[in-house]
Structure 1
Amino acid sequence: MMPEELRRGRYVSLTTYRKNGTGVATPVWYAVDGDELYAWTRTDSWKVKRLRNDPRVEVALCDLRGNIDEGAGRFAGEGRLVTGEELRRIRGLLSRKYTWQYWLTDVPAMIVRLGKRPHTGIVVRFR
């Protein structure tokens, strides 16, 4: 079940876990559709490597720098990595939510990269 407060945030701190169980938090753009939370990241990122080894995640609303307000809810879930059509859907959700920020940051970066740094989608289901 999707925590209601996540439906209205701007950024989430996405915590993924190392093999030794240590959590690593990263602020990310995200979108919500139904009962799932969607984000994307570079395929070669450590988040992707950690999720391949351990699908556990923790999510909390945060600011641009990853600071979480005291008393903010932290929600446990399971992350799944996606590519292809599911990734295109995630990009569409993010471009609708972040409109001009998405077009000012991600579109020029994609053009400059010429596809050299592929991305992977992250789908989170909550427990």
Structure 2
Amino acid sequence: MTSPTDLAAEKYVVLTTTKKNGQTVPTPVWIARLPDGSLGFTTDLGSGKVKRIRNFPDVTLQPSNSRGVITPGSAPVAARASVLTDDAATPVEQAIKAKYGFMVTLIEVAYRLRSLVKRSSGGGRAAIRLELV
């Protein structure tokens, strides 16, 4: 079995979520290990990932590149996802920032610019906590 440490060492993993119609949706995400040993990533609160996770919290994770191409020889790992907001999201945000550094700052600037242009932030930011099962 792949451990949280193994997955957390990856730069990208594909998160596969499930729609209400049963169709799966693979999405590459950054990933970081949290102080409690679980994994996490950040996203927009209004994203499809958040909606799908709220409906079906059982997901899979698999090492990939930034385009979502699965790492050859890797296997999917089952996890249970939960959506965190406000103060509960802070440990995930800190872990992502510690791992990805300046790239996080660039994403935050782009997010703020987009929210100014659209006059809506899409509901704000969220963090996803992943517990391997």
- CA displacement at 1:110 relative to structure 2: 4.0
SS at match of 1:64: coil
Identify the match of residue 126 of structure 2 among 103, 120, 124. 120
C-alpha separation in 2, matches of 1:49 and 1:105: 21
Does 1:86 pair with 2:88?
yes
User: Normalization by structure 1: what TM-score?
Assistant: 0.89
For structure 2, the 5+ residue unaligned runs are none
Q: Pairwise CA RMSD of aligned residues?
A: 1.8
8 Å contact 2:4–2:39 — kept in the other structure? no
**TM-superposition CA deviations, 1:41-79 (whole Å, max 9, x none):** 111111111111111100001101000022112100110
Q: Which amino acid aligns with 2:107?
A: T
Alignment of 1:10-21 (within 5 A): 10-21=11-22
Report how many aligned residue pairs link the two structures: 126
Identity %: 31
Partner of 1:42: 44
> How big is each residue's C-alpha offset from its partner over 1:59-103, in whole Å with a ceiling of 9 and x where there is no partner?
001101000022112100110011011212211111110011111
Worse-matched range after superposition: 111-120 or 17-26: 111-120
1:6 and 1:62 map into 2 onto residues whose CA distance is 10
Structure 1: give runs of 5+ residues left out of the alignment: none
How far, CA to CA, are the matches of 1:123 and 1:82 in structure 2?
7
What is the match of residue 66 of structure 1? 68
Give, as a single letter, the amino acid of the residue that structure 1 aligns with 2:132. F
Q: Moved runs in structure 1, 4+ residues, more than 3 A?
A: 1-4
Contact 2:16 2:26 survives alignment (8 Å): yes
Greater mean deviation of Cα atoms: 57-66 or 113-122: 113-122
